[in-house]
Chains A and B, each alone.
Chain A
Amino acid sequence: MADVTLSRVRKSYGALDIIHGADLGIRDGEFVVLVGPSGCGKSTLLRMIAGLETITGGDIRIGGRVVNDLDPKDRDIAMVFQNYALYPHMTVATNMGFSLEHRGTSKAEIAGRVKWAADILGLSQLLDRYPRQLSGGQRQRVAMGRAIVRNPQVFLFDEPLSNLDAKLRVQMRAEIKELHQRLKTTTVYVTHDQVEAMTMADKIVVMHDGYVEQVGAPLELYDYPANVFVAGFIGSPSMNFLNGRVEAGRFVLEDGHKLPLPAGVADTSEKVIYGVRPEHLTISAEGLPLTVTVVEPTGSETQIIARHGAQTIVCIFRDRVLPKVGETITVAPDLSRVHLFSESTGRRLS
């Protein structure tokens, strides 16, 4: 177990900058999730921690030790790949014991550790099978077993659940979280799925185009997104954004409609983005009129997609509100859950 520190880490392929100076501190035992859309650099960052990619600039420290020039095998890390990367011609037991064999561990100890890992992951009955005889979820567990057998300082997960179906994904999510609570190993987990990030992480790192947009606990990112990107990325369905200005204590939309603002917001001449999450809108007598286009009752709640002029607004209501398509509803935001961002920089206006 160790802490991981990234200081001004950069990655370039020739003239192309992939990662622009990432700073990150991961405490010993923390479960950190790197999340972001495809191409944001999260996998590259993970592979740089693993040693599978070279570091163009900056330092990466594991357990206080600079590992920039160390081979992956000398960094005391273990990785779980998206496509499992199991050795196809070896049994589950041999797959799991492979790394220990090449470090000169005794056969008895290898067998013992493999058994320990197999028991934790429920693989005891499958030790003599080959990867091709296993289901996706079982293969993923073997990949995890291969990682934990080594008892490394850091676990690295590269989108491990992407190849599993939805139901299995939910189940494996819980299993990985349980594993972490049991082993308490520092874990860096990469995913593009913000739900995985929110449910599993102690700390989320939101990345976008090679930049770290925000780092914080899941609820912190949900309640206080630092910029428009994080606000729109975290939370599903995404936050609604309206453009306009702050005038005389009210938010004025481009078409003249006025919306209430939380207390203490100063007038400003710059253009402002008003953000409110679908779940923080309620039907009220006074508010923003919307024309309903789609009604999606899911049983536990009702999702309504509506339009205000040219703008699409998504609402989620706990109560079973079922307007007809084309009807007008009026919604008002929960003022304590309204977010304001500068339109020019995208950053949060406190």
Chain B
Amino acid sequence: MSIPPLQVSTNQSATHLASDVVDATDNANRFSWTPFLWFTPAILILFLVTLYPTIFVFWLSFQKTKYYELVGFTGLANYVEVLRSSEFWDTTVISLTYVGGSLAGAMILGLSSALVLNRAGVTGSTLRVFILFPWTLSMSVVGSIWLWLLNPSFGPVPYVIQKLGIDPGLMLGDPGMALPLIIIVTAWWSFPYVMVMATAAMQSIPKELYEAVEIDGGGAFVKFRYVTLTEILPTLGSTALTLSIMYLTLMTLIIVMTGGGPLGSTTTLSFEAFRGTVQAVNIGPTAVVSIVVLIINVALGALYSRLTGRATG
């Protein structure tokens, strides 16, 4: 008894279809300006809102200023002044500490909560919605909440710390404690973003890989290290980069909670740019600080697009 053979067509030799050739010629012959005209409003707005201010600040960094008055072109004098000042480098260190610390906090908290809640089924899904809460708040609200929580006189957090037998000190008023506290608040605010990204990545891992580990003899740690982590690493990488870019330009929280103090211990580069423009009005050198932030962000952005490009390519 013989069975009629299955006719399965697989284009394994990558033959060109006649219709492909037709499409290509069609597109080549149909070039027009219309698509570009549709883009023009968007490009104009983009230019106005991002490119123009950036070029303007760049130009400002070469000017000598006195409050809001432009006095004259000074070349690289502003740059020299800024890069020579020890305060600038202190500020840079604070910025980098802030970014690094917040990133570490957000990633660890986000990844842990994603791992825990992913295995919790329906309860996990519900909890995830509530855990998203910090991310939905605006920064000024976050700042106000935590100002109250951390208030040394009547805030709940110092109260609990005191009950545990430790002296809470001045909290945000303490130059040594202010930055770590700001980092904790930033991590609290942004970890749900990491959790969502990590969860999405984890849910696209085929279940069979875990089953293969179970049969091969690996435990929970092996599953995490060889399956979960390796599969979500690209997502974690791009999440980390997006967050870094965001943290670098974040200043609302610092404005609300510490105003850059005490004693400049929470003055990041972005905050310095803000203060130099709005408060101290020292436009020239402040523009330099802005440019430094821009350069770091551009580098991070390039890294980000290269990584995600490789992931999709």
Contact residue among A87, A146, A165 (Cβ-Cβ distance under 8 Å from B226) = A87
A300 CA to B206 CA, complexed, in Å? 43
Besides the contacts A298-B5, A301-B2, what 9 more A-B pairs have beta carbons closer than 8 Å? A52-B214, A71-B214, A72-B214, A72-B215, A78-B215, A85-B212, A86-B212, A88-B231, A236-B3
The one of B5, B8, B206, B231 in contact with A85, judged by C-beta atoms closer than 8 angstroms, is B206
**B231–A102 touching, CB < 8 Å:** no
Describe A's contact surface by its main secondary structure: loop
Q: In the complex, are the beta carbons of B2 and A99 less than 8 A apart?
A: no
Question: In this complex, what residue of A is CB-closest to B230?
Answer: A89
Give B contacts to A, CB under 8 Å: 1-6, 8, 10, 206, 208-209, 211-212, 214-218, 222, 226-227, 230-231
B216 and A166 contact, CB distance less than 8 A: no
Please tell me if A81 contacts chain B, counting CB pairs below 8 Å: yes
Complex Cα spacing A78 to B214, Å: 10
Which residues of chain A come closer than 8 Å to B208, judged between CB atoms?
81-83, 85
- Give Cα A195 to B10, complex, Å: 21
Shortest B9–chain A CB gap in Å is 9
A81 touches B212 (CB 8 A): yes
Interface 1/0 per residue, A154-173 and B, CB below 8 Å: 00000000000111000000
CB under 8 Å from chain B, chain A span 30-59: 50-52
A303 at the interface (CB under 8 A from B): yes
Bound form: Cα–Cα A311–B54 in Å: 80
Docked pose: A102 CA to B2 CA in angstroms: 47
B216 touching A99, Cβ below 8 Å = yes
Minimum C-beta distance from A304 to chain B (A) = 12
Interface range, A side: 35 or more
* Contacting pair B3 A98 (CB below 8 A): no
Give complex CA distance A72, B8 in Å. 37
8 Å CB contact of B4 from A87, A235, A298: A298
Find chain A residues with CB under 8 A from B214 CB: 51-52, 71-73
A300 to B5, CA, bound (A): 11
Smallest Cβ-Cβ distance to B211: which chain A residue: A52
| Residues of A that sit less than 8 Å from B by CB | 50-52, 71-73, 77-79, 81-83, 85-90, 98-99, 102-103, 146, 150, 165-167, 195, 235-236, 277, 279, 296, 298, 300-301, 303, 316
Q: Distance in Å from the Cβ of A86 to the closest Cβ of chain B?
A: 8
7 pairs of A and B residues whose beta carbons are closest in the complex = A99-B216, A85-B208, A73-B217, A85-B212, A166-B6, A166-B8, A102-B217
Nearest chain B residue, comparing its CB with the CB of A152: B215
Least CB distance from A265 to B in Å reads 25
Most B CB contacts (10 A, CB to CB) among A82, A89, A277 go to A89
Indicate the member of B1, B206, B215, B218 with the most A CB atoms within 10 Å.
Answer: B215
Give A83 to B215 CA distance when docked, in angstroms. 15
Contact of A316 with B1 in the complex, beta carbons under 8 Å: yes
**A165–B281 alpha-carbon span in the complex (Å):** 72
A73 to B210 CA separation, bound complex (whole angstroms) = 12
A82–B212 Cα distance when bound, in Å, is 12
B215 touches A102 (CB 8 A): no
Closest Cβ of chain B to A323, distance in Å, is: 18
Contact: B212 with A87, CB < 8 Å? yes
